[in-house]
């Protein structure tokens, strides 16, 4: 039986997207008569009818390739039911493209926003399967998302390199790691990179406590300090603000978490503090071996779900098992770092500070 499968990648890019696309399509070609429609630039392509019929050869040689061969774009979920100046009903347009293409299934690769739209389309009657990607690892219902481990390796590598120059010059180095809402990437790379302080959005910090760490290390003849700070980390005063108020303040100040922390420490302690922002480097390049395997596992399971006509779900890793969750159960549910998470406890037991009062 022939299956026409539409596939798209939406939201920010990350390593492993192409490996996952390859996993879906290669398994589909092997298990049943598959026809793959590549939808360009995420949901924009589905809305505007921008797509192409793919050939099997187009999925060859992409396992190690970063980015996405389909292109991606951000189409915010909050705007999906909003008809703008273009007078386009986005949901109706996506359903129209799906039906015109005579798709049996739509596979969406993305993070939280992508999954919310995937669930919306599932509720509208389309056959949808999600694949969880994000370097933030903040998707509910899965232990890990693909892209996270590669980004962790890159962020850890940055911290490793900063260590040597920090030690050589006796500096306090503040490295800003991606993660606006969730601190998983900063937490894991901070532990892996040997950071002395880790600041994440889920645990509001006090700069005075961070300063104490820097001063204590100086007194113990440790002339440098490594601080890993998530881009969304906030102090206690900011944590009490409403989200819109905090975002407006930061936008007006062209805020950088690392620059702010470094500047305050320079004034308070008198140390030479430098901010380092690796930025989108953390999202680029070839996926790690772990992410290649995980992406492939996710992709193959998606093809199995298509074969079994099991729709309205997203693939997940739970323990050592590849499984799936109902889209309605996970869409819009963020997975933040619990303050009592085991990795947080491990870090504390090693003497790593989260900027809290002792």
Query: Does pTM top 0.75 for this prediction?
Result: yes
Q: Please identify which residue in the block is written with the tokens 């772990």.
A: 290
The CATH number of domain 151-283 is 3.30.2130.10: no
Of 13, 41, 104, 136, the active-site residue reads: 136
Q: Phi first, then psi: give them for residue 206, nearest 5 degrees.
A: -120, 125
What gap in Å lies between CA 174 and CA 262, rounded to an integer? 6
pLDDT grade for 87, boundaries at 50, 70 and 90? confident
Does residue 222 register a pLDDT over 90?
A: no
Residues 45, 107 contacting (CB under 8 angstroms) = no
Angle between helix 184-192 and helix 148-169 axes, rounded to 10 deg = 50
- Asked, colleague to colleague, whether 2-146+287-330 and 151-283 share their fold, the answer is yes
- The DSSP code for 176 is E
Which has the closest alpha carbon to 306: 1, 8, 14, 28? 28
CATH level 3 topology of 2-146+287-330: Rossmann fold (3.40.50)
Domain boundaries, the chain: 2-146+287-330, 151-283
Q: Which has more confidence, 131 or 244?
A: 131
Q: Across residues 324-333, what is the average pLDDT?
A: 95
What gap in Å lies between CA 144 and CA 156, rounded to an integer? 17
What gap in Å lies between CA 30 and CA 142, rounded to an integer? 27
Q: Residue 136 catalytic?
A: yes
Does residue 248 register a pLDDT over 90?
A: no
> For the segment 16-75, what is each residue's pLDDT rounded down to a tens digit?
999 999 999 999 999 999 999 999 999 999 999 999 999 999 999 999 999 999 999 988
């Amino acid at each position: 039986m022939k299956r026409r499968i539409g596939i798209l990648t939406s939201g920010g890019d990350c390593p492993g997207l192409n490996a996952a696309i390859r996993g879906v399509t290669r398994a589909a070609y092997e298990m049943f008569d598959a026809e793959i429609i590549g939808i360009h630039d995420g949901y924009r392509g589905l809305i505007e009818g921008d797509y192409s019929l793919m050939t099997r050869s187009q999925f060859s040689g992409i396992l190690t390739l970063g980015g996405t061969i389909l292109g991606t774009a951000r189409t915010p979920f909050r705007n999906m039911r909003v008809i703008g100046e273009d007078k386009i009903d986005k949901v109706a347009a996506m359903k129209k493209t799906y039906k015109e293409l005579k798709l049996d299934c739509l596979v969406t690769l993305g993070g939280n926003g992508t999954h919310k739209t995937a669930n919306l389309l599932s509720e509208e009657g389309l056959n949808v399967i999600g694949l969880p990607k994000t370097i933030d690892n903040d998707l509910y219902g899965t232990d890990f998302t693909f892209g996270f481990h590669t980004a962790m390796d890159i962020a850890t590598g940055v911290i490793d390199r900063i260590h040597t120059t920090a030690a050589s010059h006796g500096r306090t180095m503040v490295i800003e790691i991606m993660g606006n809402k969730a601190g998983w990437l900063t937490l894991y790379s901070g532990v892996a990179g040997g950071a002395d302080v880790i600041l994440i959005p889920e645990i509001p910090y006090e700069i005075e406590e961070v300063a104490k760490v820097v001063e204590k290390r100086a007194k113990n003849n440790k002339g440098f300090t490594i601080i890993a700070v998530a881009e969304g980390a906030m102090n206690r005063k900011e944590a009490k603000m409403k989200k819109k108020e905090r975002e407006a303040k930061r936008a007006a100040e062209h805020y950088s978490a690392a620059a702010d922390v470094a500047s305050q420490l320079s004034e308070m302690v008198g140390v030479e503090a430098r901010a380092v922002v690796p930025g989108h480097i953390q999202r680029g390049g070839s996926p790690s071996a772990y992410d290649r395997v995980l992406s492939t596992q996710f992709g193959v399971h998606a093809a199995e779900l298509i074969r079994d006509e099991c729709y309205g779900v997203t693939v997940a890793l739970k323990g050592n098992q590849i499984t799936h969750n109902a889209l309605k159960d996970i869409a819009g549910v963020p997975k933040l770092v619990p303050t009592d998470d085991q990795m947080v406890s491990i870090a504390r037991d090693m003497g790593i500070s989260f900027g809290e009062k002792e």
